[in-house]
A and B are shown apart, each in its own frame.
Chain A
Amino acid sequence: MIQFKNVSMIYSNGSRALTDVSFNIENGDFVFVVGPSGAGKSTLIKLLIKEIEPSEGEIIVAGRKLNEMKKKEIPYYRRNIGVVFQDFRLLPDKTVYENVAFAMEIVEASRREIRRQVPAILGMVGLASKANAYPRELSGGEQQRVSLARALVNNPSLLVADEPTGNLDPHTSRDIMKIINMVNHRGTTVIMATHAKDIVNAMKRRVITFRRGVLIRDQEKGVYYDED
């Protein structure tokens, strides 16, 4: 599903974010990407959704080489990926319903599909009653659930989460993880960057550990070591 081949990333200001990173992720996998701040987790996510281009190496997602993808194709590529961020990134002028519907509108879904699908996904994340609220009226956990609903509404084959629980308390974090876990069980590949040690250790999934841009450990049913 995802292949990183000798990927290095040096930003234009000269700072080195990733050095010679290679790994494979299979369809349906659940992978944690861990490491302290500055380890290169966010860079990895940005590379995956083609927000930035690697300085060296090759990234292949679902059989497509990202390096060779044209600028015009990027939006269509991103529609197959659900993305969730630490800071939720919801559209402030749109209601919960409209935020989720937006993801369907851009793929030119019909009104009927939207009316069927959006309430269903909002029900799944437990926000059916908040459909008409604006993001600012919601708690952090609720906003992240909206963000998840938006990421999932088009049934992406890949869910990418960048510190999705970073702004949430432990209880709320567990709720979010339950949803992500459920989505993975339905077959969606999940990549989640985090430094929430408790979550990683509780889930017992594959863990890829970075330190200063270098992949230092890749374990099945791994744990988050303190020294990392």
Chain B
Amino acid sequence: MRIRTWQRLIKDGILYIFRNRVMSLASIAAIMAALFVLGIVLVAVFNMNHIVNNLGSMVEVTFFLKKETSYDDIMVIKEQIKTWPGVREVEYISKSQALEKMKQELGSRLDGYTEENNPFPDSFNITVEKPDDVKNIIPRIQAIPFTEKINYSQVVIDIINKITRTIHIIGLSLVALLALISAIIINNTIKLTVHSRRKEIAIMKIVGATDGYIRWPFIIEGFLLGIIGALLSLGLISGIYHYLLTRTSLGSPEGAFLSIFQLIPLNDFVTDVMIIFLLVGGVVGFFASAISIKKYLKV
């Protein structure tokens, strides 16, 4: 087809939306509502994932150094550890610090101990990015000649891993399910707009329009309705989320529920939500009209 024909088809697609104002508004509202529900689930899942990912920092590996290790060696080791993948933080606890700490905790029972007869060794506390990083870090610690003993809890790692995996699976299934439901609703909505114009399609055929010529404005219309619904829904979700962040205590560390339930910033996920919305809205709108118009072209 010629360029001017494409221009006409696109113009017609846009025109149909405005000329069919009631139908278009109804479609956009339906698409918006479907994506809004999907959006709420997405936001919840993104926040849950964030919380779950932070659980990894609860896993600590402590290892103790042999008594004869020099301060210089310790500093070299510390710098080395910092370069390991999966290491979030390294904390060096000198034997005197350990003694101090234990004295505070246990009080007079340690009264006899001083720097000279300090029973505690030097140690490192490593926090990891995610629990699974521990198994890569352990051999590296073992490879350090000054290592005396390593302390970590496999049970905690396993539990956290289990929680993380379960939450991720639940989240992903919920998103997939809601995306599917939204797609079905959008598909039906677009089908209705095409159905409401079946007579026009028949007229166009009688006048001698090719199937392609009839089809494209409808596809463009379906695509645009999907995109408009998606963008409006994104605006609504962002607006509400922004309100929760700024006008309620949920966004600040002090107001966070149970100190871990703090809302993540909007920018952390708004692009992801937008992409998902545009995909669900636009792609489904496009194909829904392309498929449903087929039926009416067989006149």
Contacts and interface: CB of A to CB of B under 8 A. Distances in A.
Interface in B197-232: 199-200, 202-211, 213
B156 interface: no
Contact of A105 (B5, B200, B211): B5
A75 B208 contact: yes
Interface in A17-48: none
Contacts, number: 57
B299 interface: yes
Contacts of B209: 75, 102, 106
- Mostly, the B contact residues are helix
B15 A78 contact: no
B155 interface: no
B16 interface: yes
12 contacts: A51-B206, A76-B210, A89-B203, A90-B203, A91-B200, A94-B19, A102-B209, A105-B8, A106-B210, A107-B208, A108-B5, A111-B4
Nearest to B9: A105
Interface of A: 49, 51, 75-79, 81, 83, 89-94, 102-103, 105-108, 110-111, 150
Given A91-B203, A93-B19, A75 B210 contact: yes
B135 interface: no
A124 to B, nearest CB: 18
B166 interface: no
Contacts of A102: 204, 207, 209
B206 A106 contact: no
A79 B208 CA distance: 5
A110 B207 contact: no
A102 B299 CA distance: 19
A85 to B, nearest CB: 8
Name which of B1, B20, B206, B210 has the most chain A CB atoms within 10 A of its CB.
Answer: B206
